Amino acid sequence: MSEAGKHAEETPKELIGTFVQRWDDEWLPELKGYHATWDAFDLAAASVDSLLEHLDWTLDKFVRLWEIHFEIAVPFLVAPSMFHDMYSDVFGETEALHAYKLLQGIENASFIAGRELWSLSQSADSDEIRSLILNQPTGE
């Protein structure tokens, strides 16, 4: 295998090994800090100068958010494929869905949010719920 190919295969393995620790200790606290700053900023009471300063800060953080996105995306997207490869090696199975069925239904934040959003969508037929969704500020 060429050096570039070997490096491309080894890098995700290294990233996956530290993914949870980096999420808990690095990315999540950083993201929560950004959200706390945005939530604390009083847009309605801010002066034009404060708004422009806040916008500059936000645009700087936007760049960082994309950096975090791609730091997370590589191991997140590669891990299922690596799991399938291992499953195929161990069990001699080539049908991808068999391996992925072992991963389905594991509780995680995305799974829970999706289930709750679906549940909310089912109750959105009510005029009261629809009005609440459309008229309630997102920070409340």
Q: Is the pTM of this model over 0.75?
A: no
DSSP per position, 10-68 = HHHHHHHHHHHHHIIIIIHHHHHHHHHHHHH--TTT--HHHHHHHHHHHHHHHHHHHHH
DSSP 94: -
How do residues 19-70 score in pLDDT, each as one tens digit? 889 999 999 999 999 999 999 999 999 999 999 999 999 999 999 999 999 8
Backbone dihedral region for residue 136 (phi beyond 0: left; psi -120 to 50: alpha; all else: beta): beta
Between CA 35 and CA 80 the distance in angstroms is: 30
Between CA 134 and CA 114 the distance in angstroms is: 19
Selected residue with higher pLDDT from 72 and 57? 57
- Six token digits for residue 11: 């890098």
